[in-house]
């Protein structure tokens, strides 16, 4: 697992060079706009709600309302919780809406890495790619929230909250890498096959997602670069895995 996580991270080292070499920047314009708008809306929402949630908690626990330091702690924890949920929503929104724009990027990378101008692959339209992106990320969003919400409750327990933060980071990373890798998989595997493939290669997905999440902590620049670099890095690894498992469709074109 650790070896594969490192592979997922190491692919970023050649991502920027590959984007420039294949002249892929134009493909990222709309996804970057989607990323910036989504991040801005979620940040403003988180900023506005943190105080409201802490006040709601203090109404439930009125005996603590007179302690300013308690209110400050609840306000801080509320902000963290909202930020985590916001990151989850941001991640799945941009991964879903960017699907039709990222698929051509991953295809160009695949052509470059394999030396084959065009593989036989699943014929999908813009709308079908968008629907698959929405469907996959809605599935992942629900699963991630079901896992995340109980873990968030642990953040109110001292010491334990340190370990819960690490666990939440790994979960966030996995689902980020999951979405990035599917931009390549959608051409070669159907929906169920892709999910099985990604479960098998969790380490690669986590490694890709670790850098994805870390980028979001870089003000402004992180939101701009996160998709171009993470999608390119994931495409590099996913193409290698498909080649190793002989999963390219060489003899027929499948419909979705």
Question: What is the reported pLDDT for 129?
Answer: 84
Instruction: Specify the pTM.
Output: 0.84
SS (H, E, C) 74-124: HHHHHHHHHHHHHHHHHHHHHHHHCHHHHHHHHHHHHHHHHCCCCCECCCC
Handedness of CA 95, 23, 26, 12 (dihedral sign): positive
Handedness of CA 224, 164, 205, 175 (dihedral sign): negative
With beta carbons less than 8 A apart as the criterion, state whether 232 and 105 touch.
yes
- Residue 81 corresponds to which tokens in the numbers above? 């919780």
Question: What is the reported pLDDT for 58?
Answer: 63
Nearest Cα to Cα of residue 136 among 198, 67, 195? 195
- Spell out the residues 6+ positions from residue 206 whose beta carbon is closer than 8 angstroms to its own: 4, 5, 8, 170, 173, 174, 177
Total H helices, total E strands in the chain: 10, 0
157 DSSP assignment: S
218 DSSP assignment: S
Question: What is the reported pLDDT for 54?
Answer: 62
Cβ burial of 136 (10 Å; 0-12, 13-18, 19+) is buried
Question: What is the reported pLDDT for 247?
Answer: 73
Tell me how far CA of residue 63 lies from CA of 57, 59, 70, 157, 234, in angstroms: 11, 9, 11, 19, 51
- Spell out the residues 6+ positions from residue 128 whose beta carbon is closer than 8 angstroms to its own: 256
Instruction: Name residue, tokens 């920047």.
Output: 25
- Spell out the residues 6+ positions from residue 83 whose beta carbon is closer than 8 angstroms to its own: 46
Q: pLDDT truncated to tens, each residue of the chain (256 aa)?
A: 889 999 999 999 999 999 999 999 999 999 999 999 999 988 888 777 766 666 666 676 666 556 666 666 766 777 777 778 888 899 999 999 998 899 889 989 998 988 765 555 666 678 888 889 999 999 999 999 999 888 877 766 667 667 888 888 999 999 999 999 999 998 888 889 999 999 999 999 999 999 999 998 898 899 999 999 999 999 999 999 998 888 765 434 333 4
Question: What is the reported pLDDT for 237?
Answer: 95
């Amino acid at each position: 697992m650790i070896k594969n996580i490192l592979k997922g991270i190491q692919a970023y080292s050649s991502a920027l060079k590959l984007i420039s070499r294949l002249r892929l920047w134009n493909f990222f314009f709309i996804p970057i706009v989607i990323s910036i708008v989504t991040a801005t809306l979620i940040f403003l929402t988180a900023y506005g709600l943190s105080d409201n949630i802490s006040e709601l908690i203090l109404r439930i626990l009125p005996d603590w309302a007179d302690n300013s330091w308690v209110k400050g702690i609840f306000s801080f924890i509320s902000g963290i919780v909202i930020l985590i949920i916001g990151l989850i929503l941001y991640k799945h929104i941009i991964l879903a809406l960017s699907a039709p724009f990222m698929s051509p990027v991953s295809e160009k990378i695949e052509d470059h890495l394999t030396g084959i101008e065009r593989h036989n692959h699943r014929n999908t339209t813009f709308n079908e790619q968008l629907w698959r992106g929405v469907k996959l990320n809605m599935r992942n969003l629900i699963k991630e929230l079901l896992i995340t919400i109980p873990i968030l409750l642990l953040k109110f327990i001292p010491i334990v909250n340190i370990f819960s933060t690490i666990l939440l980071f790994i979960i966030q990373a996995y689902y980020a890498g999951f979405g990035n890798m599917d931009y390549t998989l959608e051409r070669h595997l159907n929906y169920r096959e892709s999910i099985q493939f990604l479960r098998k290669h969790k380490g690669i997905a986590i490694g890709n997602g670790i850098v994805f999440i870390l980028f979001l902590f870089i003000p402004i620049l992180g939101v701009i670069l996160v998709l171009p670099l993470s999608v390119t890095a994931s495409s590099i690894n996913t193409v290698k895995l498909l080649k190793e498992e002989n999963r390219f469709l060489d003899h027929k074109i499948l419909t979705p």
